[in-house]
Structure 1
Amino acid sequence: MSSFHTLPDTGPIAVSRHLVHKSAASEVLLTGYERRGADSFSVTAQWPRAHCFYDVVAGRHDPLLVTETARQCIPLLSHLGYDAPADHSQIWENLTWSVEQEALLATSAPAEIRLDVRCQDVVRRGDRLAAMSMSAILWRDGTFLGSATTRFTSHSPSVIARLRGSYRSALSSALPAAGLPAPLAAERVGRDRPRDVVLSPGSAPRTFVLRVDGRHPVLFDHATDHVPGMLLVEAARQATQAVAFPDTALITGMAIEFHRYVEFDRPCLIEAEVLLAQVPTHVSTRVTAVQDGEAAFTALVTAQRGPAAGPPAHSY
């Protein structure tokens, strides 16, 4: 289905934090947007040389920057490309992404990224965007970096209010600062600070408890009434690292399904199942977030094994 955008774009458009649903301007990765066709777009991004959460490790940019870059494209294209009102919210259904490890090598300059994006299977309700799929090829200085495909829905505030019911008032900003379960050792999950660990020990092997810190400045950039999708993605990464430890799991891709919301008021288990890898230098896991006995999120994670992890650089 073709676009229902009515006015042609006049040229590249700078990206503000509101267009990608961020509160902190420092968390905006996207830098520009331009329509190239009815349902095709060019989006530019910049990955910093240092980031307080998605930092350079072992000389490479964090591969989860691919996920966050694709995530920011969802509201951007919804609002600019398909005229979704500013107060409409987008909900992930699925996401598949992969990255070339060598293209992640960091240099003395920020990484300049271009995404060639195509949208398809666009569904609208009246004149409003209701759902669509998005595919992106990512380039870094003309070199293939990776790809991402996703499908999401778009909803008005009244629909979100009906979907969330009483949970609409359960904002992360009201989560108590005390009472968080103790984190796993940071080095076990590939982190160097306890505050960035999103898993706590579970009661069974390869089972963890999701650790939800509503004060985290990146994972909770703004108040929300449910566990953010990027926190669940990070949990899948950390669970894969935990089962690979002491080796380093260099994540190369994920195939993710979002089944239902994860709520704040009940425990959520993160279960990691090690799958048979096709080659011994790789590790593959199926990570499932389980709440109330039902799967809320699943991710098939692929990674390369690296050298044994060293001690954390710093902690507090």
Structure 2
Amino acid sequence: MPLPQSALAPEAATTAPALSYRRTVDRGDVHRWAVSEVFLTDYEDLTADKYLAAAQLPPAHYYFGDHTGPGADAPDSMLLLECCRQAATCIAHRGLGIARDSAFHVTDWTLDLTGAAPPAHDRPRELNITAAVTRSRVRSGTVRAARYVLELSQGGTVLGRCDISACYSPSEEAEIVRRYHRKSTPPLSGSLPTLPPGTPVSPADVARRDPTNVALADARHVAGGVAAVIAVPSGHRTHFDHPQDHYTAMILMEAARQAALLAAGSGVRITGYRSRFARFAELDAPVRVSAVRRTSNEVAVRFRQHGTIASEIAVGISEEF
């Protein structure tokens, strides 16, 4: 799943100031309530469209550290996605001037894991992020959409590249649009049951240890693949660190990862994601998931609600370790 290389300036890393890993950034800059869920530790403007960020990867975490199988000693793909999300969100606020109360909507998200992480040692892993940003839509001097191309490295080794496109709306405007399309006020995640209905997938089948980190239920094999529904407990401390009125892109990415493992086998290694989010996945109706292994190195995952595709995510896999 290669990403374009030209968006990242080769001189960015050599001219960059030293970044700190001593403390986290303001949790509000990355849309978190719990400081324990903040991994970004520093941020720096290089130019109007080039930025640097640093993150410390937690040596243990009940969700981001809860994975088994091939690559279990390397940083989890979900953790790298979250670091990219935090970096892009921080840049949006500090670098692009997006208001704190704006609504964020991710439209496309790609991660390509290109290199093996250096061996773990006695200190937490330190992640470097170089970002190139394109303001793809500006209205009355305010950025309304942007694309972020991020390069991830650790100890001089490039781990991969990430591409995120997002739209931004003033909170009042976003609320009006959401109500118009739904014809009602969306419920918040606190209204979800503590234990989701249905039969949860076995944690071992989706490379998890903790049952609370399973995101799928009622999985079954169908012609050509696997079908299931999203099932996330309302009290999940990472997915719902703060109230949400929809299933977030991160939840859909995790559900896609799990569906891909069900379709291909939990012994494969995840190599990336190529995602498109067409509409919100609402909390008050079932989100149906289908996963089909299209090729030896890719599983196509679709999310449908009310018969309409809400998101499509291609999950890259490899049987070589």
Q: Which amino acid aligns with 2:189?
A: S
User: Could you tell me which amino acid in structure 1 is paired with residue 278 of structure 2?
Assistant: H
- Pick closer, same or farther for the CA change 1:271–1:302 going to 2, 3 Å: same
Aligned with residue 248 of structure 1, among 246, 249, 267: 267
Where do residues 1-316 of structure 1 align in structure 2 (5 Å cutoff)?
Answer: 15-55=25-65, 57=68, 58-100=72-114, 102-103=116-117, 105-165=119-179, 168-178=185-195, 180-202=197-219, 205=222, 206-245=226-265, 247-277=266-296, 283-305=297-319
Encode CA deviations 1:42-85: one digit per residue, 9 max, x unaligned. Answer: 11111111111011643222122221111112221111001111
Q: Secondary structure at the match of 1:187?
A: helix
Q: Could you say what secondary structure the match of 2:267 adopts? A: strand
Correspondence for 2:9? none
Q: Is the 8 A contact 1:248 1:306 kept in 2?
A: no
Number of equivalent positions = 292
Give the C-alpha shift of residue 173 in structure 1.
1.4
Distance in 2 of aligned mates of 1:179 and 1:136: 35
Instruction: Tell me if the contact between 1:11 and 1:34 (Cα under 8 Å) persists in the aligned partners.
Output: no
- Which one-letter code corresponds to 2:96 in the other structure? Y
Tell me by how many angstroms 1:303 deviates: 1.3
SS of corresponding position for 1:103: coil
Q: Aligned partners of 2:113, 2:315: CA distance in 1, in Å?
A: 12
Check whether the contact 2:118–2:157 (CA below 8 A) recurs between aligned residues: no
Q: Report the alpha carbon displacement of residue 195 of structure 1 after superposing the two structures with TM.
A: 1.1
TM-score by length of 2: 0.85
Paired residue type of 1:209: V
Contact preservation (8 Å) 1:89, 1:157: yes
Q: Secondary structure at the match of 1:65?
A: helix
SS state of the match for residue 265, structure 1?
coil
Identify unmatched segments of 5+ residues in structure 1: 1-9, 278-282, 308-316
* Residues 204 and 90 of structure 1, relative CA distance in 2, 3 Å threshold: same
Check conservation: 2:195, 2:233, Cα contact below 8 A: no
For 1:8-50, what per-residue CA distance to the aligned partner results, in whole angstroms no more than 9, with x for missing partners? xx99796111000001111111110100011100111111111
Contact 1:253-1:301 at 8 Å conserved across structures: yes
Question: What secondary structure, in the 3-state scheme, does the structure 1 residue paired with 2:128 have?
Answer: strand
TM-score normalised according to structure 1 size: 0.87
Hey, what's the Cα distance between the residues in 2 that align with 1:114 and 1:168?
Answer: 40
Q: Take 1:211 and 1:190, find their aligned partners in 2: how far apart are those partners?
A: 16
Structure 2 unaligned blocks of 5 or more: 1-16
One-letter amino acid matched to 2:216: L
Residue 5 (structure 1) aligns with: none
What is the aligned partner in structure 1 of residue 6 from structure 2?
A: none
Runs of 4+ in 1 over 4 A off after TM superposition: 10-14, 166-169
The one-character-per-residue Cα deviations of 1:103-132 (angstroms, maximum 9, x if unpaired) are 164332211111110101432221222001
Give a deviation string over 1:161-193, Cα, whole Å, max 9, x none: 112116545100122325522201111111112
How many angstroms apart in 1 are the aligned matches of 2:186 and 2:295?
Answer: 43
**Could you tell me which amino acid in structure 2 is paired with residue 145 of structure 1?**
L
